[in-house]
Amino acid sequence: MLILASASQSRKKLLENCQIDFLQFSSDFDESSIKDENISNLALELSFQKALTLSENIQKISLPRKFNDSSLEILGCDSIFEFKGEAYGKPANKEEAFSRWTKMSGEFGFLHTGHTLLIGNFDSTLNIFKITKTIRKTISSRIYFSKLDDWEIKIYVDTNEPLYCAGGFALEGIGGKYIEKIEGCFSNVMGLSLPWLRKNLYK
């Protein structure tokens, strides 16, 4: 059974669309505690810490009885958008979202998603998750944005969608029409590389 250590609705939808059985729980990891100037490495470390935190607190989760003493996989992911060497997380407010989009308009950036898969077994007697294997990788996709006028940016920002997304845009949402082209994994831009997951989940 796969456990998604994330509250992300985008990742949830991706897994549901692929008909992958999973449970979803937020890891509640404090992302501000991790610092790294290398954006790709930062995304990877955050994904690992999210998965690890959930694995260490698994006794607080009410797992269905059928998963006692069975194999489990915990998936942690974290996405960070890189624009001209700068890390763009979720914009703090509309003003920041608008400012970013005026810079990103007609340009390109990279969406880095760190992936960590902890494979192991849940021991119902000791109430712990025993990790037997750890698989980690950052997947990066290059995203090209349309050239937008200020009024178009304002309309998009006023939807509030950019405030809830890494980089200030959602490919699967309203912001999808402002993306010209993607080089690399498509689903990675939505927070989870499905080809990577398929390759490593079913080894």
Q: Which residues are catalytic?
A: 78
Q: How many CB atoms lie within 10 A of CB 56?
A: 13
Sign of CA dihedral 90, 94, 96, 101: positive
Residue 37's SS3 state is coil
| 75, burial (CB in 10 Å: exposed 0-12, middle 13-18, buried 19+) | buried
- Give the Cα separation of 115 and 77 in Å (integer): 5
Nearest to 9, CA basis, from 202, 134, 161: 161
- Give the Cα separation of 154 and 147 in Å (integer): 14
